[in-house]
Structure 1
Amino acid sequence: MKRIALYHLETLLWIARLGTFRAAAERLNTTQPAISARVREIEDQLGIAVFRREGRNMVLTARGRRLVQECEPLWAGFEKALLTASGFEGATGVVRIGSGEIAAASCLPGFVHAVERELPGVTLELELDLTARMFQQLLGGTIDLAFLAGPVASPGIRTAPIGAVGLVWVASAATVRAGGFDQSLPVWSIPDHSPLHGVTVGSLSAHGIVPRSLGTCNNVRTLIDIVSGGGGAAVLPEPMVRQMLESGALAEVLPRPDRTIQFEAAIRRTESDPLVLELFRRAGELRIES
Structure 2
Amino acid sequence: MAINRIGLYHLETLLWIERLGTFAAAADRLNTSQPAISARVRELEAHLGASLFRREGRTMSLTPAGRQLVRDCGPLWGDLQAVLMRCGGFGEASGVIRIGTGEIAAASCLPAFLSDLKKDMPFVSLEIEIDLTVNLIQQLLTGRTDIAFAAGPIAHPALIARPIGSVGLLWLASPDVADAFGAGASDRIVPVWSLASHSPIHGRMREAIAASQIAHGLLNLCNNARIMIDIAKAGGGIGIFPEIMAREELASGALVELEGMPALAPVEFHVAMRASDTEPVTHSVFDRACALALG
TM-score in terms of structure 1 length = 0.93
Question: What is the number of residues matched between the two proteins?
Answer: 289
1:226 equivalent to 2:231? Answer yes
Q: Which amino acid aligns with 2:206?
A: V
Shift of 1:192: 2.0
Partner of 2:155: 153
Give the secondary structure class of the aligned counterpart of 2:198: coil
Measure how far apart 1:281 and its partner are. 0.3
Deviates more, 1:51-60 or 1:278-287: 51-60
Counterpart of 2:265? 259
Counterpart secondary structure, 1:271: coil
Aligned-partner Cα distance in 2 for 1:239–1:6:
46
> Unaligned 5+ residue runs, structure 2?
none
- Aligned match for 2:133, one of 131, 134, 148: 131
Residue pairs, 1:1-290, within 5 angstroms: 3-54=5-56, 57-180=59-182, 182-183=186-187, 184-207=189-212, 209-254=214-259, 255=261, 257-289=263-295
Once the two structures are TM-superposed, the CA of residue 23 in structure 1 deviates from its matched residue by: 2.0
2-side partners of 1:11 and 1:96: how far apart? Answer: 18
Cα distance between partner residues in 2 of 1:142 and 1:19? 11
- Measured against aligned partners, the alpha-carbon deviations of 1:175-216 in whole angstroms (never above 9, x if no partner) come to 123334724102111122211111111212222534432121
The 8 Å contact of residues 149 and 269 in structure 2, kept in 1 or not, is answered as yes
| Counterpart residue type for residue 170 of structure 1 | L
TM-score (norm. length: structure 2): 0.92
Q: What's the CA shift for 1:56? A: 5.0
- Could you tell me how far 1:22 is from its partner in structure 2? 2.2
Return the alpha-carbon distance in structure 1 between the equivalents of residues 267 and 95 of structure 2: 32
**Cα 1:33/1:224, change in 2 over 3 Å:** same
Q: Distance in 1 between the 2:57 and 2:103 partners?
A: 36
- RMSD, aligned α-carbons: 1.8
What residue ranges of structure 1 are gaps of 5+ in the alignment? none
- State the distance in 2 between where 1:257 and 1:269 align: 36
Q: Match of 2:190, SS?
A: coil
Q: CA-to-partner distance for each residue in 1:93-150, whole Å, 9 max, x for gaps?
A: 1000001111111110111111110111111100000110000000111100010112
C-alpha change, 1:206 and 1:179, in structure 2 (3 Å) is closer
